[in-house]
Structure 1
Amino acid sequence: MQEFYKKALYVFILIVLADALLAIMLVDRSYLSQPLLPAQQGGDERAVRWRFGFTSSPWDARAIHVDQSARDQLRFDLNLPADGADPIVSADLLAVDGKGKPALADLSKYGTVSFVAKCSPANSMMFIASIYDEHLSQPGNYLTYPPALTYFSCNEQGVPVSLDLTRLTIPQWWFDTVHRDLSRQDYVLDRVERLVFGATGQSPRGVPAHVEISWITLHGRDYRYLAWLTGLVVAGWIAFGVWFFRAHARALLASVDTQLKKDLPLVAYRQLTLEPYRDKEKAAVLKFIATNYTNTELDLEGVVAATGTNRTKVNDVLKSELGMTFTSYLNKLRLTEAARLLTEKTGTTVAEIAFSVGYANVSYFNKLFKEEYGCTPKAFRTLAAQQEPPPDPHQQTAAP
């Protein structure tokens, strides 16, 4: 059994290491990161790309200029009028397909967007995700697109910004404009046509301003990888459990078989002690123990009193003949006989067998039996029934 437990430990450690490696790989894969700039060229024409654009009030067409030559960042200049109504001015990232036609981007698997915002002078700006609504939106008319927005600030040194895409808000003025129920504040970023970086009422007025938005990256989690991880880990441990119990049963069966074969010479030796012995004192000790071991009250003092031999002599006899102490030899005789009875008398209860071999306490008998054979008496009986019965030791005869 020691070899089996050693093998099981190796397999256990191997599974733990495999699970750890699998967890590192799949957890890492579950973290999504998608840079939006620079726009990818070539590849699948159905893949969404992003191109630069801008929005401004018709009377403020010169209020913004977007640098179309930039590839890895969104750069634009603002020149907002010093007075008058707040203009609608923004630099946009427009979703397009491989042919440059307007497209809808599914951003629902992303939870945040991060970027570095650099503004000169310092600015307060808004971020908007324009979502296409099939019941309301008119292609190209972004006032009919639900604008999920939030705000951020920037300065001359550059500010790292991280926005929660799940906590954007749709302003009330949009609901009033399209006459939509104000309670329908929920949104899904599965049809995004435009990402907007726009001026606000607190943006600098009457002075030129320069804005750079770089390292625009979407972040999210793909929980399918975690589901795969959970499934693989559970499947692995279930397989280990099935293997362990089956292999343990086989190893225990082999151990019981080996133990039975090892105990046969002892049982046969017990029979030999009933034969004449040259050393009468030694013979008396061995014969008395061999014929009275089933007595529940048998102890060393009883052997001494019955054979007229002192304690030292009894221990010397058992030590020289069997290499055991009195208690060890007595338990060995009883447990060996109990093992034989368990295999041969299937209709007899464990308690009856325990009493018949000299144990008044069944729990104590079960404890000793498990220490000797590695399983309970009931399990031993089941395992023994699965193998060919050993030869009857009572039918063995001593070698001449």
Structure 2
Amino acid sequence: MEDWSLVSYHDQESTLHYEQSPSSIDAEFTLSSAAKQPNAGVALHIEKGIDGFANLSDFSTATISLKCSFGNTLYFGLSFHDVKVTQRHNPLTYRSAGVFIDCDTEWRDISVKLDSLEIPVWWLHMFGYKASENKYDLNKVIRVYLESSYDSPLDVSSKFYVSNISFSGQRDGVLPAFAFFAALIWLVCGAWTIKKYSGQKSREQEIKQELKYEQLTLNPARERDKQLIIDYISKNFADPDIDNSSVCKAVGVSRTRVNEVLKTEYGATFTNYINKLRLVEASRLLTEKPEAQITEIAYIVGFKNISYFNKLFKEQFGSTPKEVRGRRASQ
């Protein structure tokens, strides 16, 4: 029998309050524009199980029953143990994969295929993986989570409700490890790499989980377009001349399609997404190449203007490249 605990947290400026009943969790949150990277939410963590992981390999589909106080785009995902980088109490090091889902004002059952989740490219690059090394192991699940996208509003009190998250698949029946799962919500604005630099608070509560079945219908052509766009950008973001037009030409899609994929998947414009990939790579190189000049690293990741690189780096991580390197050198 696997035991799970509900952990909630939020950044210092944002708020999250929720009430749990036998049938749902009713939550109210406000993401603050005063926060560098607003975030608030809860996650369902495995506490006991084989080697401390949940085994969901016998299940092919997750179904989430939820509604919001107004239309919103959320992100559902699973976090997995990565044998090379995962540190148990450092969520940034979890290999996480997920998918964006729509939350409406009426109750909906939303189904997600567990073999169609995507690992963010920035995470792979941060830990030295290639974009093609995007597999995950369903028998080593650390937690289940639901998070907001960049579309979530700031400085507005928002409500959400979850009545059930269930898993279904190859077995005929429910996963016996869970008796009943009242609800799960995690609302986070920003990428995992930003969370490393954000203050967080947490509280825990034991909950259980009921499991049911449903299927996600995908458009294969659009999924192929999306993967081609993401793969091309992940391999070529360090090219200082990369732009929307060059991606369109290389992949064979329209500018509108490129913008749509980046907005839907990452809540970012083309320029913002490229810059984030470059900054994450620069952060990695600052650690792995102590002999390289900061100017050299800026050029390696694709920046032509050093002042612009320094400005964006500080906005992203709260410190200049020089300050980051100085701290790491003194450790």
Query: TM-score, structure 1 length as denominator?
Result: 0.40
Larger relative strand fraction: 2
Max Rg structure? 1
Larger relative helix fraction: 1
